[in-house]
Amino acid sequence: MKRRVDPEIAALQDRVYLLIRLYRVRGHRIARVDPLGLPQPAPPELEPEFFGFTDADMDLPVVSETFQYDGPLTLGTLLERLRNTYCRSIGVQYMHIDDLKVRRWLQQRMEPTENRTQLTRHEQLRILTRLTDAVTFEEFIHKKFVGAKSFSLEGSESLIPLLDLAFEKAGEQGIREIVLGMAHRGRLNVLANVMGKSASQIFREFADTDWKASRGDVKYHLGHSTEWTTSAGAKIHLSLCFNPSHLEFVNAVALGRTRAKQDRAGDADRARGMTLLIHGDASFAGEGIVQETLNLSRLRAYTVGGTLHVVVNNQIGFTTSPDEARSSTYATDIAKMLQIPIFHVNGEDPEAVAQVIRLSMDFRHQFKRDVVIDMFGYRRLGHNEGDEPAFTQPVLYQAIAKRKPVREGYLEHLLKLGGITREEADAIEAKRREVLEKELSESKSEKVVPPEQFRGIWSRYAGGPEPAQKKIQTAVPLEKLASWLELQTRLPADFNPHPKLKKILQARQQMAAGEHALDWSAAESLAFASLACQGFHVRMTGQDTERGTFSQRHAVLHDYLDGHTYVPLQHLAPEQAPVEIFNSPLSETGVLGFEYGYSLDYPDGLILWEAQYGDFWNAAQPIVDQFIASAETKWQRLSGLVLLLPHGYEGQGPEHSSARLERFLHLTADDNIQVVYPTTPAQYFHCLRRQALRPWRKPLVIMTPKSLLRHPKAVSSLEDCATGSFERILQDTQDKSADQVHRIILCTGKIYYELEEHRLETRNDHVAIIRLEQLYPLPTEPLKTALAPFRDGTQVFWVQEEPVNMGAWPYLRVQFGDRLFERFPFAGIARPASATPATGSFRRHKQEQQELIEQAFGTANEKRPPSPRGRGPG
């Protein structure tokens, strides 16, 4: 028999369910998360009147099937519980999560407890002590280093107990490594109070005591690492990444470091390591790298098992207010792209902060997803200590002036509870100040801080200048090469390759048998195979890298019938190191930052990032400028990261032609990077192997081919890989007497093949062609040797495809001037100066290319418009 439901009760109950739902969805809008309590509009749907409820209805009994609370409820008590859970010091956004199980899990954690945990007296004292550490440090700095820039944490000091609580939880969860990334705000405080950096060292940096042994960067960019012990005795290694001023770019780097640490430890579950990123409110909302990094979070190639994000939301960015800084409601709204909760919490309520951090860490642990804490506070001072904030935010700063320090507020709360006396609290503070005084006097001593040595996994590696030419054995016995090529063509019996792939596999078999010359991708696969079999982990990522943009690589094969994948390079030998080749998402900054970070914690691997076309790397310019090119000088951090950048003029337009070689050459100094443009598969093979095998760790930028991938002349033999090594200079392939040669062409990369073809076609015996395969560090001595046979005064032309203001010419011109080694007049032949790298017209490209070649040989038609391309500046 159907149960009759009183329609009035049913209607009431419907309204109650809606009410519960709306508090879950929108309760955060009226949560008291802002310590300044600035007015904010309240959504009408959170008012009982919106549902037609009056005060008289508050005693009505209601059923709370979905609300995670046991026991009878009246409408009044339900409302109170909803408000306590969702609208006190914590506002939570989680109803955008699609998976009901995840939402239920969160509800079960928040609703029965009204999103609050009872802290023990011991825990409360620990929070108070950490707050005291934070506050005392800031006060001390202001007093002792008046007016110095420190980017104080004042107004958001709860960050320090928050981190402390996060580490406590991490210890319980078995996390043994945490990589932290953070910007300027509160960084010195974190270094001193969390990262275990000695305060005296920080004070020396304030006083600029060690300026002669200058470390190359300002104090609030320096990283540090330390061993942290939790109260339960768990040990966690903390690494705070060095970072540039460029806000948020370190995020991707920190993730890459974590992933490398996990991979190195064989932590496939991603359970031992964690990334903790601390963001600013303006930068989290404003910088695109935040989105790129969030997007990595659940991808197989990039996941680290969840990142803890903490936004230190001081509700301002320099002088910019939130309404000028973002179009979204919260600074954190971009994070709603992930299936994760976002907790907004009032930083002046340290116990709410404690609740949020525990819940966040549990969520991360349970679901291996990111989680975001948006901790509201304010910035007591200007952007830096010398800045006047009331010029631009007068009203805000009147409100801020009225706030008592967060420690004071919390202490009053504890005094009321009676767990501590003011004398005890004062004693904690006095002790901390005493320690700082001692550190200050120590900092004034004459002790010289020795430069940091490379330690741990880096102890076998070196940076600095390129070591004198000690030959590295990069050649590999021919039989091994043949067998690795052959192995790559053997597929499991149940694997059905794409019909067209069979031809590619056959070609590889022929290469293995010595019946077919080696092409570019075969040489690359042999470099990877040989290194993996020597124990080097190979990791390569990039857009469409698994197949290869030019359909040249086919490193990951897809079964033609069911799509499952097979990676031949992972099946070479049982004891080989992993070869990981992954498609990246369509991102440059995020992915390149990640791989750079990975390389920081994997010196004994070959870590490569490939641009789809070379020009796209400039979307990641800050990673190149701020990390790759300069990290060693600024922070003594080494990296052996390889950038593969398809480059070459094939008539594809202003983009897809140039990897902006000039930009890299412009960045070179102090042997900071290597720039090469190899012309043969064997050169590429030896160069990749040299990168892993030499203990010298420097980023390697390789201009890689497109048309040369299938060029019949751009081939090598297996013997070329079984003998020799990477040659920085390739001498002319034709043996000519000095008397014969009237003109020497110097070039790099693809143009060589066109020059050579022209020389053969025109049977020109008077021109020698020398290839510069390594552009930086510039192989001056080998070049001298290559030029030695020729007569003094022979004209040397640098010939390049790029416009005269691009390519290698401007760099070589600065290096050599207009004479090479005092012996040869030196000039450049290039396309005319241009604002774009190349023309958009294929026909025009062809004509330009032809003219260029003719001019290189001195046979250009003089009737053509005068000097269209010039011979280089000056």
Ligand X SMILES: Cc1ncc(C[n+]2csc(CCOP(=O)(O)OP(=O)(O)O)c2C)c(N)n1
Binding mask 279-308 for Mg ion (x = CB under 5 A): -xxx--------------------------
- N residues, the chain: 874
Q: Exposed, middle or buried by CB within 10 Å (0-12, 13-18, 19+), for 404?
A: exposed
- 3-class state of residue 768 by DSSP: strand
DSSP conformational letter for 628? I
What is the CB neighbour count within 10 angstroms for residue 346? 24
Of residues 40 and 565, the one with the C-beta less far from Mg ion: 40
Cα 852 off chain centre by: 40
The site partner of 318 among ligand X, Mg ion, none (C-beta below 5 to 8 Å per kind) is ligand X
Whole-number minimum distance, CB 179 to ligand X, in Å?
20
CA distance 789 to 833: 33
Query: In this structure, are residues 63 and 13 in contact, taking their beta carbons and an 8 Å threshold?
Result: yes
- Between 284 and 598, whose beta carbon lies closer to Mg ion? 284
Distance CA 11, CA 576 (A): 68
User: Please, which residues have CB within 8 angstroms of residue 9's CB and are 6 or more apart in sequence?
Assistant: none
Partner from ligand X, Mg ion, none binding residue 566, C-beta < 5-8 Å depending on class: none
Q: Which position has the token pair 């695109």?
A: 288
Find the distance separating the first CA and the last CA of the chain, reported in whole Å.
100
Smaller CB separation from ligand X, 620 or 642: 620
Interface positions with ligand X (CB under 6 A): 185, 245-247, 280-283, 312, 314, 316-318, 379, 383
Smallest distance, ligand X to C-beta of residue 275, A: 19
Q: Which does 283 bind (CB under 5 to 8 A by kind): ligand X, Mg ion, none?
A: ligand X
From the list 135-143, 273-281, 455-463, 642-650, the region that binds Mg ion by CB under 5 A is: 273-281
Least distance in angstroms from the C-beta of 292 to ligand X? 14
Q: Which one of ligand X, Mg ion, none is in contact with 245 (Cβ closer than 5 to 8 A by kind)?
A: ligand X
- Residue 206, contacted partner among ligand X, Mg ion, none, CB below 5-8 A by kind: none
Q: Which residue is nearest to ligand X (CB)?
A: 280
Q: Residue 423: in which H helix or E strand, if any?
A: helix 422-443
**Least distance CB 622 / ligand X (angstroms):** 7
Looking at the Cβ atoms of 246 and 433, the one nearer to ligand X is 246
CB of 393 vs Mg ion, minimal distance in Å: 12
Q: Which residues contact 747 (CB under 8 A, 6 or more apart)?
A: 755, 769, 770, 771, 772, 798, 799, 800
Q: Which does 298 bind (CB under 5 to 8 A by kind): ligand X, Mg ion, none?
A: none
Nearest distance, CB of residue 185 and ligand X, angstroms: 3
Question: Using an 8 Å Cβ cutoff, are 665 and 811 in contact?
Answer: yes
Least distance to ligand X, CB of residue 460, Å: 35
Which residue number, 254 or 529, has a Cβ lying nearer to ligand X?
A: 254
Task: Specify the 3-state DSSP secondary structure of 583.
Answer: strand
Residue 623 per-residue DSSP state: I
Binding to Mg ion by CB under 5 A, coded x per residue (else -) over 307-326, reads -------x-xx---------
Q: Of 217, 287, 258, which Cα lies nearest the Cα of 627?
A: 217
How near is the Cβ of 278 to Mg ion at its closest, in Å? 12
Which residue lies nearer to Mg ion by CB, 171 or 280? 280
Smallest distance from the beta carbon of 335 to ligand X, in angstroms?
15
Nearer to Mg ion, 206 or 318 (CB): 318
492 cis-preceded (ω within 30 degrees of 0): no
| In the complex, least distance from residue 357 CB atom to ligand X, rounded to whole angstroms | 19
Q: Which is nearer to ligand X, 279 or 813 (CB)?
A: 279
Residue 381 or 643 having the CB closest to ligand X: 381
| Size of residue set near Mg ion by CB under 5 A | 6
Nearer to ligand X, 406 or 767 (CB): 406
Smallest gap from residue 816 Cβ to Mg ion (A):
49
CA distances from residue 9 to 54, 61, 79 in whole angstroms, order as listed: 16, 10, 18
Residue 565, beta-bridge partner list: 558
DSSP state of 870: B
Please work out, in degrees rounded to the nearest 5, the angle formed at the alpha carbon of residue 33 by the alpha carbons of 31 and 37.
95
Of the pair 133, 281, the CB lying nearest Mg ion is at 281
Q: In what order do the strands lie in the sheet with 824-831?
A: 729-730, 767-772, 743-747, 795-803, 824-831, 819-820
432 binds, options ligand X, Mg ion, none, Cβ within 5 to 8 A by partner type: none
Residue among 694, 781, 768, 767 at smallest CA distance from 729: 781
Q: Using CA atoms, how far apart are residues 402 and 364, in angstroms rounded to an integer? A: 37
Shorter beta-carbon distance to Mg ion: residue 345 or 812: 345
Question: What H or E segment, with its residue span, contains residue 85?
Answer: helix 75-87
Closest contact distance (angstroms) between CB of 379 and ligand X is 6
For binding to Mg ion (CB under 5 A), which residues are involved? 280-282, 314, 316-317
